[in-house]
Structures are given as C-alpha cells and as structure tokens.
Structure 1
C-alpha cells in the first residue's frame, strides 16, 4: 500500500510518498519512504512518481494540502452534488453511476459517500419535508440512490477482518439508505457487515444478535418520529447483551440530541466510523 504522509515542521507541512512493507522478522508492517515530495503547498501531481500519480487516495490527500487543488476540489464537489441531485430526482441511474465514476477518478469512494451522496440525500429529505418536491419524487430519488449504492458495493471488495458489524433500523423506520451506505463503506474497509436493512420487529433483531454475535451494532435513524423506537430498541439490546451500540442518521442531526444508552455519532465523516468501531 502506497500513500502520502505529512510531517509538520514549525508551521509548514511536508509530504512524503511512503509504502507499507511487511517485516517478517518482527511480524508487523513498517513504512518505507518512496520519495520526499517537498513543502505540501507547493507539491503538484507531476511531483508524484508516474506509477502512483493517478491513485485516487493520493490525489485526494494532495488536494487537501494544495490551495489551488482545494479550490478545484470544492468546485468539483459543488457541481457533482448539483448534478447528482438532478439525476436522482429524475430517476436516472445510468447518469448517477457516471457521476460516481467521474468523481472517484480524483477522489475516493469515501469522499463520494461523505461529500456527495449524503448531503444530496439530506437535501432531498429537506425539500420533501418543506413541500419543494413531492413524496413520489423523494421515493424515486431514494430508490435510485439505493440502487447506486448496491452497484458500488458490487464493484468494490476488501479483505475481511475479524470484526462483525450489525447495521439495523428500529421498527417503523422504512428508510435504509444509510444502512446501505454503511454496509458498502465498512465492507470496503474490511469489516464483515450484516445489513438488516428496512424495519423489522425488535425480537427478530435480538434473535439475529443471538445467532450471529456481532462485535458492534450500528442503528440508523432517519426520521425524528422513530427516535423513541430507537431508544426502545437500544434498551432491549442492552438488557440482554453487552455489545457496543452506535447510533446515527439524519434524525440525530438536530442541535438537541436525544439520550440513548449508547454512543451517538451525529455528524462525523464516514472515515471516522471505522476508528470508532475499532475502539468501541
């Protein structure tokens, strides 16, 4: 694996292209410097060796440190969000796939979920709630988004590690796009993910936990009306199992976060979730 590493000296960041190599004697991985690139704000794409120049992850990190690239990144993200909103509400899955394909030529899949798909779906939900779009249009957009996530899931693979993650929603919650996004992203990161998707009885979730013994449970709640059901679900799980529970979703975006006997992850980037899972 090759990636960019930043080292701060005084007030400036300096970039190194490094790779992970396996040390068989110490039975661990170590970093080796491939190339010192220089002051982060002055590094451009052509400074990166040609073998790694088009790696989306490397380009994504480079954009974060280069002012010119940051401006281009923000403009690209803005245009992609506007275009995806239109294609989702039009029910156009083929164009939605093309938007994803073009975006990950520069950025990562995590950036697409975090910076494009998630805010677009939040806007669609808000526009429906404020009568700017019809319920039919909202359903069409959600269905196309779910199809898009499944297609992305089929394209990406990851090495499965030992941690098993259950992703579910409380009874009454019919929105499961958040679960699909989590399943795709965490699978990319190598977790074994059980996605129970749309609403099902609490007893069925408890039975699944008993049979499959997940290491961490993620509960996604989209509508605020389903928060009480989410609280009851968490309480039932806690009564029977000592398993870490994480709660997230659009319903938890409000300033006043309801109380849960669990860890609430209300507004964090997707790439932070694996770190939280590993320390749960």
Structure 2
C-alpha cells in the first residue's frame, strides 16, 4: 500500500503545483465545465486500449482518466467543497455498505442476488437522502443512447419488468420494425422518428437479454465498416480511380472482397483488413 500511497501523493502534489502560483497557465484556466469533454474522451480511450489488448497503453490511458478525477478534485478543493480524500472515502464507504455479504454477516447465493441486494440498498440510501425512489434513477442522461437504453432496461428488470427470455425481446424487435414500416409507408416524418427510436430501443433490450452490450456490438460493426471501406479506398487508389469515380457495383465487389479477407484473417490464412492509422491524438495526454 505504501507504493500506491506514495504514487497518489505525488500525483496530488503535481496537480496542486500545476494549479498554484507559477504553475501552468492552461491548467490554471480550467473549470469543471471546461474539463467535461476530457472525461468522456479519456474514458473512450481506456475502452480502445482494452479492446486492443495492449497492457502498456491500457495503463497509460487509465492514468489519463485518473488525472481527470484528480484535476476535478483539486478544483473542488480550491472551492472548499471536497477533495480527493473525500472522493476516495465516499466510494470506499459505498463499497462496504453495499457488500454486507463480504463486510457483514449477510449471505448470498449467487451474483444475481448480489445485484438485487445492491439495488435495494441503493434505494434505501436514496430514501434516506430524500431523493426519488425510482429504480431508473442514476443512469446519466449524457450516456450514449444505446448504452443508456441498456442500463435502463437492466434496472427495470431488477423488479421483474422484463421478458422471461430473449425470444420475447426478439419478437418485440419484429413488432417495432413492422410499426416503422407502416410509418414509412405513411410518410409521416415525426412518426418515423418515433418508431425508429422504438426499434433501436427494442434492439438494445434484445442485446441485453443476449448478454451483449449494444454499444460494444455497434462499436465492433463501426470498426468493421471502417476497415472494409478503407480497403475499398485503397484498392480504388491503387487502380487510379478518384473518389466518386467508381460505380456502386464496383465498390460492392471490393466490399465483399474485404469481407473475404476478413474471414481468412480470422482463420489465420491471410493478413487482416485493418483500420487506417489513428491521428496524432489530442494535445493533453
């Protein structure tokens, strides 16, 4: 623990110096609102490092994310609100109170019971604080919509508002697609948007029932789209065909070619079709 304590104290000291007199002009200008985009950006970069399986990069990106926590805690410390120790103690207290099966004498049978217990304890804490008691509370409004739909339906499922299995959720997807088709046929743009949202929500719910986070599933599809489309661009450039100079049929052939190469790469018989190199990145880490 002494090594971790020393490292945290060093980081807190560096942050205080950066914000103090004679520190960094950029750091001294920052506010909680100006730091908001960096929290999201760093979180996504941690996810990218996890997906890449690069331990060194993962460690570095976790450090960048930790900086955002330390930075905000320094700002609130200067405002006389709370400091990093308060942040660490708050989560420590929460972990202890919500794990009575570990730190107390409560017994649980499985992970599902742990989740139900966690939800019940969370509701009790909110009630004690005079907050609302809806099981849907606590899901940030600024989460990506698919991930938020996943979390909302998962929370609702904790009190039994859920399909018994994935088949019911799958039937709901078909039902919503039918309603979308009817809205498209009617040409009602407002209704089309409404029904399209219902389709996406139903798909997110099905993903949850299948145990596949919808945001991660879509991220994977986006990555494959980029890799396959990049293959099309490379091949057209190699043939001297300018952007917009190929027909849809020609590009479709190259798209299918990329899929074949992708399948061969999975079997180890060909190099993978990869995404283009990432850009230079951001200026702050």
What is the TM-score of this pair, normalised by structure 1?
Answer: 0.29
- Structure-2-length-normalised TM-score: 0.29
| Structure with the largest fraction of strand | 1
Rg larger for: 2
Q: Which has the higher helix share?
A: 2
